[in-house]
Homo-oligomer: A and B are copies of this chain.
Amino acid sequence: MNAQIISIGTELAIGQTVDTNSAWLAQRLAEIGIHCTRHTTIADELAPIVAAIKQASIEADLLLISGGLGPTIDDLTRQALADAMGKPLVFHQASMEQIEAYFRARNRSMHPDNRVQAMIPQGAAPIENTNGTAPGMSALLNKAHIFVMPGVPREMQMMFVGDVLPKLPRGDGGVILQHSIRTFGMPEAEAGQKIAGLMARGRNPTVGTSAADLIITIRINAHASTREEAQRLIDADAVQIRQLLGRAVFGEGDMTISDAVGRLLIDQQLTISTAESCTGGLIAKRLTDVSGSSAYFTQAFVTYANESKMRLLEIPDALFRSHGAVSAEVAHAMAANGRRISGTDYSLSATGIAGPTGGTADKPVGLVYIGIAGPRGVEVKEFRFGELLGRDEIRDRAAKAALNLLRLSIKPS
């Protein structure tokens, strides 16, 4: 069983509003084993809406439509469904009474324009809207079961959960379960090749990769007749993926690198502090994103000015003069001194050029030194993130690189 979703509205088509209804509906469908293959967003124009409904009704078993049910002249979904079905619009008295009751209950008077909302195509059935004035509709056309819902996300969601979902078949008597495995530090192409066997087309589960903010997520989608069977399929693939990708894997589901690091620190009763320049407190912020972080995080020095680095972290002036503030030597001293002064097991440092100004040929924007001081000494890594990334992303990547360095420095228990 496969589904398509159509969202109707000029505000969506011209990009004034981001369509979140389609993703929400697709997720709900996946949860009951119905695979959504296509979303279409169309402006408020009759002919293209009619054409889209007709085409989808030939391709899909289930068609969910949202939007275009309001009372104004640019709300065309009722007429479009009627045209696609080749039927006239007819007045539906019970719907009219529900709309009138909606206004009465709110002590508001109904505008005559709302009457049009009680019209539905002959042969379609209305769906009451308990949360707004626009009734929904259900109909059969070609091979598709069609459900039409309002575009306002809250009204759409209430109607879907209350009236549409109970009427949907469970997909081929099956369910689709999803699981994500999250990695950092291994290029997507390399990860893809290591798990290529699992990514073969037509296989179940389907395994795919996606990249966002340097994190490569491996998605497993298992299709099975029962939840338990789907879970078994996922578990089997997850074991293999973890093995193939090794320490690049930092977590599962929606776990962040901060979560992963926090768990390691808590498990091994280790403490951490930071000494930050270009990241401006971002590494400390990430370390304290996690509830319970007071168990391991004690303090951070954000020393943006050189004078602050000298005063708070006791970096000798000579180091700036011989190597510059953005140097492996200063990152080394910041981490080592930060650790000594804070009295923590580990200390992370960062010094670099976040840009967009301040770069030179020698030290371009995007150059960042990350230091880590720990029980086994001090290590400094140089990163060249490239100046085109922009300030936010350079800082984000520097913070992620720092946390990942910490993660890899701590032996798994």
Does A237 interact with chain B (Cβ within 8 Å)? no
For chain A, give the interface size range: 35 or more
Does A318 interact with chain B (Cβ within 8 Å)? no
Report how far A113 CA is from B193 CA in the complex, Å.
7
Verify A72–B24 contact, CB threshold 8 A: no
Does A45 interact with chain B (Cβ within 8 Å)? yes
Verify A188–B70 contact, CB threshold 8 A: yes
CB contact list, A3-52 vs B, under 8 A: 9-20, 22-30, 35-45, 48, 52
Does A322 interact with chain B (Cβ within 8 Å)? no
As a 0/1 sequence over residues 294 to 314 of chain A, the CB contacts with chain B under 8 angstroms (1 = contact) are 100111111111011000100
A190 CB to closest chain B CB (Å) equals 5
As a 0/1 sequence over residues 198 to 214 of chain A, the CB contacts with chain B under 8 angstroms (1 = contact) are 01110000101111100
* Given A281-B302, A391-B291, A42:B38 Cβ within 8 A: yes
**Inter-chain contacts of A178 with B (CB < 8 A):** 14, 16
The 6 A-B residue pairs with the shortest CB-CB distance in the complex, in nearest-first order: A15-B26, A281-B281, A280-B288, A281-B284, A300-B302, A72-B192
A contact set with B: CB distance below 8 Å:
9-20, 22-30, 35-45, 48, 52, 70-74, 105-108, 110-114, 130-131, 133, 152, 154, 158, 176, 178, 187-190, 192-193, 196, 199-201, 206, 208-212, 219, 221, 274, 276, 279-285, 287-289, 291-294, 297-305, 307-308, 312, 342, 354-357, 384-386, 388-393, 395
Pairs A–B under 8 Å by Cβ, sample size 11: A10-B221, A13-B39, A17-B210, A18-B20, A19-B39, A38-B41, A39-B39, A72-B189, A113-B189, A113-B193, A299-B305
